[in-house]
A and B are shown apart, each in its own frame.
Chain A
């Protein structure tokens, strides 16, 4: 009973810690989504696959949310005609390469600045590399989740395609759209299906500052609900592990340079804590783990974790996710091990 109470306290502690950061992220992303024209962003993206990956990795600066908030954004980008390499780099890098996360990492590891910089640097390297690998696949269709395609066709039968105005068609010529009419439709229609979907002006109620603000709050509440639910799940698992799995067990998993990195990567995937707060979480292991394994946690965790897999399954085929995970895991291991070996 005492154990359960302790677990509950830790759980609340994690939530009290994470909620403000989650709220900041949600408020920022909601306001950005309102004030930024995505179409404009897409036309300005570079066509070169390598540059695309680099730029994709840095879009995170515009969407300062943790990994749970990035999946819907990445999906929308992908289906709006952004090339997969950009979307994948964004998906992998954005949870780390954004001001809120860098700030919170700085607060947690301010006394070890190398952890902060290397987290950013290594995440960038991994995201650019994986994005570049996937840019070799020109046709994005095999990458995407087949149920998305079903949703498209169902949607198609219900709504008139004429909703898509011709001006937009001209604007959004991109690798994705060039593949054929079907993909064009997919791009347009799926974007309508997302949480912040496009709508025709005819459907709009009275436009006023107030109604705009209500829609803003609608989006905030929606994201808070989704991400808050995820946060609760992640925090609960983290608190249970903290209380019911003795520290000795985790420590015994990782005794030497190699296994400590692997243990922390495993932990980061299980715990699924949001990237905005994971640096605080990992601080509790700072006493017992090497800095290269902490770095592995901070790099790998935001890219891949249990709750992230659930979200990513809504975008990609499982096989593609396995590829991404395998690549990310290997790169994170190699980079952090090299760091641990050299310094």
Chain B
């Protein structure tokens, strides 16, 4: 009984003379919006900017979406050219927005997305979200704890994960470390400390949460501006420092694992700044 489901727009469109000319714009706006969104998603996947927005698990899904959008745009475009139909959907829809408005917004946002590249989350965002050296409950994955990993091969996230699995800092004292991350100046930490941090993404940039470990410097941290990416090599040591958590009461101190920096190398922001 598919004929039952024919949109009213098609019935109206059989009488094109009744419709003002400018209504032609709406279906074309749709075509351009679909095209723009398809292109935007394709651009993110091709340029790798997608890694700044979403967990790599979803890249396939985004690519498929982009292809469907582009196909739909092509189909609608062809349809418009071939049939030369005017379709007015205004009268039949009950929405907060008019179709003009919705299509224009969709198109404008996609164009903005094409023009403005996504930013890398900064130390400011990290401070706002609250840096911790503990993992939230849902991301705590004890099964990924691998004792076989050599300490100097562990990434920053591996270190935080390892610490979560076995939190006694003394167990790691003296181990070598070679980690990559960006600088956060935590107000709680003494002047010769920076926090070397990375964002960890579970699904998309919205849920990215920062993890980090304190790094002991030889001199003041003023020489190391926030958000600069570093590769730090050194050895682990236990120190008593203020607690690394925004949620807990200030002034509380705890024994913590810190990295005593031996060599610090400044690096440009990597293309995949987030860990997963």
Q: Which residues of A are at the interface with B, using a C-beta cutoff of 8 A?
A: 2-3, 5-6, 8-10, 12-17, 19-20, 23, 27, 33-35, 37, 39, 72, 75, 107-109, 111-112, 192-199, 201, 203-205, 207, 212, 214-215, 217-222, 224-226, 228-230, 232, 238-239, 242-243, 246-248, 251, 280-281, 283-284, 286-288, 291, 307, 310-311, 314
B96 at interface by CB-CB < 8 Å: yes
**Contact between A229 and B6, CB atoms less than 8 A apart:** no
**Contact between A2 and B124, CB atoms less than 8 A apart:** yes
**Contact between B5 and A33, CB atoms less than 8 A apart:** yes
Q: Which residues of B are at the interface with A, using a C-beta cutoff of 8 A?
A: 1-11, 14, 30, 33-34, 37, 41, 44, 50, 52-54, 58, 61-62, 64-65, 68-69, 72, 75-76, 79, 87, 89, 92-97, 99, 101-103, 105-106, 109, 112-113, 116, 118-119, 121-122, 124-125, 128-130, 132, 136-141, 202-209, 246-247
**Contact between B203 and A283, CB atoms less than 8 A apart:** yes
Please classify the interface of chain A as helix (H, G, I), strand (E, B), loop, or mixed, using the class held by over half of its residues: helix
A217 to B83, CA, bound (A): 15
Q: Which of A13, A111, A193 contacts B204 (CB 8 A)?
A: A13
Nearest CB to that of B60 among chain A residues? A20
10 closest residue pairs by CB, A with B: A229-B102, A287-B136, A284-B207, A13-B205, A314-B94, A280-B203, A13-B53, A20-B65, A310-B96, A17-B204
Nearest CB to that of A314 among chain B residues? B94
Please classify the interface of chain B as helix (H, G, I), strand (E, B), loop, or mixed, using the class held by over half of its residues: helix
Taking A9-B52, A13-B206, A310-B96 as contacts, is the C-beta distance between A34 and B137 under 8 angstroms? no
**Contact between B65 and A221, CB atoms less than 8 A apart:** no
**Contact between B206 and A192, CB atoms less than 8 A apart:** no
Q: Which of B102, B124, B125 contacts A225 (CB 8 A)?
A: B102
Taking A215-B6, A217-B72, A222-B7 as contacts, is the C-beta distance between A287 and B203 under 8 angstroms? no
Q: Which of B8, B10, B95, B102 contacts A193 (CB 8 A)?
A: B8
**Contact between A6 and B121, CB atoms less than 8 A apart:** yes
Q: Which of B68, B93, B130, B208 contacts A23 (CB 8 A)?
A: B68
**Contact between B10 and A218, CB atoms less than 8 A apart:** yes
A212 to B79, CA, bound (A): 12
**Contact between B3 and A242, CB atoms less than 8 A apart:** no
Residues of A within 8 A of B130 (CB): 247-248, 287-288
**Contact between B247 and A5, CB atoms less than 8 A apart:** no
The residue in A16, A34, A286 that gathers the most chain B C-beta atoms within 10 A of its C-beta is A16
**Contact between B101 and A111, CB atoms less than 8 A apart:** no
Nearest CB to that of B29 among chain A residues? A225
Residues of B within 8 A of A238 (CB): 206
Nearest CB to that of B124 among chain A residues? A2
Residues of A within 8 A of B140 (CB): 111
A323 to B128, CA, bound (A): 38
Taking A111-B138, A197-B8, A229-B101 as contacts, is the C-beta distance between A281 and B207 under 8 angstroms? yes
Residues of B within 8 A of A212 (CB): 2
A288 to B207, CA, bound (A): 12
A107 to B237, CA, bound (A): 38
